[in-house]
Amino acid sequence: MAKKIINTPMAPKAVGPYNQAIEMNGFVFLSGQVPVHPAEGKIIGETFEEQAEQVFKNIGEVLKAAGCHYSDVVKTTVFLTDLVEFKSMNEVYVKYFGTDSPARTTIEVSELPMGALIEIECVAAIG
């Protein structure tokens, strides 16, 4: 099966040489999403919670473009610039994934693109 490139104007354009997602062999691999407004191209939200909400909105749009939903996500990797926000991230996370959440890794990093506080990449299963 050939890979299928997925991009949507409803999510922010990539800030580097990559696509928003790639579909291959029954899975969709989403590139990391940061809290950038698709039309404005700028970080949205002053608080961590506001930024996390925007990240999930962006993820939702890319999933939708791939014909998927949050319930199809099987793995996420969350990057935080401060693990103090771990609890806040979980509170936003559960709003989108519920109690049947995908497998997850959370990593603290020193910096994220555009000064974001959070970035999330994920893998979804098709069908």
Q: Please report, for the chain, the start and end positions of each structural domain, with discontinuous segments joined by +.
A: 4-125
Report pLDDT for 2.
Answer: 87
Three-state secondary-structure class, residue 60 = helix
53-87 pLDDT per residue, tens: 999 999 999 999 999 999 999 999 999 999 999 99
* Spatial CA neighbour of 34 closest among 56, 49, 16: 56
Walking along the chain (127 residues) 10 residues at a time, the average pLDDT comes out as 94 93 98 97 96 98 98 99 98 96 98 97 95
Report pLDDT for 81.
Answer: 98
pTM for the full model?
0.96
> 102: exposed, middle or buried (C-beta count within 10 Å: 0-12, 13-18, 19+)?
middle
The architecture in CATH of the region 4-125 reads 2-Layer Sandwich (3.30)
